[in-house]
Amino acid sequence: MSSLQVPYYSPEQYLALERAALTKSEYLDGKIYPMDGTLLGMAGASERHNLIVANLVGELRAAVKGRLCRTYPSDMKVEVGPNGLFAYPDVSVVCGQPRFHDDVRDMLLNPTLIVEVLSSSTEAYDRGAKFAQYRKISSLTDVLFVSTDATRVEHFARQANGQWLLSDVSDIQRAVEIDSIHCSLAMSEIYALVEFEASET
pLDDT digits (tens, 9 = 90+) for 5-62: 678 999 999 999 999 998 999 999 899 988 755 444 444 568 899 999 999 999 999 9
Mean pLDDT of 73-93: 92
184: three-class secondary structure by DSSP:
strand
Q: Which CATH entry fits the domain spanning 45-200: 3.30.70.20, 3.90.1570.10, 1.20.120.350, 3.40.50.2000? A: 3.90.1570.10
Confidence tier at 198 by pLDDT (50, 70, 90): low
User: How far are the Cα atoms of 17, 31, 128, 146, 181 from residue 53, in angstroms, in the given order?
Assistant: 27, 26, 21, 9, 19
The predicted structure's pLDDT at residue 38: 45
Tens digit of each residue's pLDDT (9 = 90 or more) over 121-133: 788 889 998 999 9
pTM (two decimals):
0.89
The predicted structure's pLDDT at residue 2: 47
Confidence tier at 139 by pLDDT (50, 70, 90): very high
The predicted structure's pLDDT at residue 121: 79
The predicted structure's pLDDT at residue 83: 76
For residue 139, report the phi and psi dihedrals to the nearest 5 degrees: -80, -15
Using a pLDDT cut of 90, give the percent of the chain over it: 75
Q: Give me the DSSP letters along 91-151.
A: EEEEESS--BSSTT--EES--SEEEEE--TTTHHHIIIIIHHHHTT-TT--EEEEE-SSSS
For residue 101, report the phi and psi dihedrals to the nearest 5 degrees: -60, -40
The pLDDT mean for the chain works out to 90
